[in-house]
Amino acid sequence: MNKKIALTGIKPTGDPHIGNYFGAIKPALQLAEQYETRYFIADYHALNQTRDPEVLREQIYEIAAAWLACGLDPEHNLIYKQSAVPQTFELSTILLAFTPKGLMNRAHAYKAMVQSNTEQNRDPDDGVNMGLFTYPVLMSADILLFDADVVPVGSDQQQHIEMATDIAEVINRNYNKEVLKVPQGLIHKDTGIIIGLDGRKMSKSYNNTIPIFLPEKKLRKLIMKIVTNSQTIEEPKDPDKCNIFSLFKLFADQQQQNEMRKRYLAGGLGWGHAKQALFEIINETITPFREEYNRLMADKGHIDAILEKGSAQARELAEQKLVMLRKEVGVL
Ligand code: TRP
């Protein structure tokens, strides 16, 4: 039986951190057991923000190397670059013809910009480019081009998936058949919020992240900065109210967690000791990832080759879909 298709786009936005790894990368990679998986680097989406070509180029390599180093196996998963599949942009043009402007007016990212402009007495559309405004259409094209059954994303992307669904349904109704597969969001649960250095959710906007590929010394220095309370070494401590332990749990197996829990409750474990233990377990886990990441970043030709091989495959699939669509809409 054919497996269902899971597809997701990865925006190239520098330095992935531990929150990205446990919140997005790992769950997306695990889907490969159940689904036929397709991952792509959403480089033209990034052009809306990143205008410096050197920066964009570097970020594309970084995100590709990051996913590959974290275990994306290009032999068993399709990985490609959005920009290398021009059919995406042709489909986007088709979708635009069916997308009510009002639907785009309701997109969260656009609405937030309009609201902040209005509050600051600026023109409502100040700083809004058409790439941002039509972002949900391009994202719909990414998804609908490859007949995705499910789209694993964070909850911030849920609205975009619903828009893709809406647009696909409008088109299917117009042609009176299932021209486009109607996708479903697979929203990563926020139950396991990853805590950052300051105890808030780990996020670039809070500047409290632990990047995955930091060199060992910098990693240790960062972990020593985790905010704790002023309990003394002797005092017994509550592991369930501790930022250090919440990170430790992500990396430790059950037995390691039980042992650390006992040390917390027994007293005599200082915050410095807990941080050292956390550093050691993180470092042990990510050292092979870091080594692979550095190896890939030192051989960008190899990354190019992987992406081009996947992109060639993606173009073939996309062209089949477009031949059907061109006939369906009547340009062929
Ligand atoms: N918008 C997504 C994000 O910001 C990235 C993305 C682009 C995407 N196209 C996609 C995700 C298609 C899933 C499917 O994270």
Residue 112 has pLDDT above 60, yes or no: yes
Any idea which residue has 């998986």 for tokens?
Answer: 37
Summarised one tens digit per residue, pLDDT across range 160-196 is 999 999 999 999 999 999 999 999 999 877 556 899 9
HSE (side-chain half, CA atoms, 13 Å) at 143: 30
The order of strands in the sheet holding 150-153 is: 78-81, 36-41, 5-10, 150-153, 184-187
Q: Does any ligand 1 atom lie closer than 6 A to the CB of residue 153?
A: yes
- Please compute the mean of the pLDDT values over residues 72-77 and round it to a whole number: 96
Residue 225: pLDDT band (50, 70, 90) is very high
- Please compute the mean of the pLDDT values over residues 235-248 and round it to a whole number: 95
Q: What is the pTM of this model?
A: 0.93
Confidence (pLDDT) at 193: 82
Residue 11 has pLDDT above 80, yes or no: yes
Summarised one tens digit per residue, pLDDT across range 35-63 is 999 999 999 999 999 999 999 999 999 99
Residue 2: pLDDT band (50, 70, 90) is confident
CA diameter of the chain: 78
CA distance 150 to 7: 7
Confidence (pLDDT) at 14: 74
- Please compute the mean of the pLDDT values over residues 240-246 and round it to a whole number: 94
Q: Report the separation in Å between the CA atom of 330 and the middle of ligand 1, taken as the mean of its atom positions.
A: 29
Compute the Cα dihedral for 266, 199, 11, 218 and give only its sign. Answer: negative
- Please compute the mean of the pLDDT values over residues 124-128 and round it to a whole number: 95
Q: Does any ligand 1 atom lie closer than 6 A to the CB of residue 140?
A: no
Summarised one tens digit per residue, pLDDT across range 274-306 is 999 999 999 999 999 999 999 999 999 999 999
**Assigned token pair, 123:** 């023109």
Confidence (pLDDT) at 309: 98
Q: Does any ligand 1 atom lie closer than 6 A to the CB of residue 16?
A: no
Q: Does any ligand 1 atom lie closer than 6 A to the CB of residue 138?
A: no
Q: Does any ligand 1 atom lie closer than 6 A to the CB of residue 45?
A: yes
CA distance 149 to 161: 11
Angstrom distances, CA of residue 202 to CA of 17, 35, 112, 220: 8, 29, 22, 17
Q: What is the mean pLDDT of the chain?
A: 95
Q: Report the separation in Å between the CA atom of 29 and the middle of ligand 1, taken as the mean of its atom positions.
A: 15
Confidence (pLDDT) at 318: 98
Q: Report the separation in Å between the CA atom of 134 and the middle of ligand 1, taken as the mean of its atom positions.
A: 13
- Please compute the mean of the pLDDT values over residues 304-312 and round it to a whole number: 98
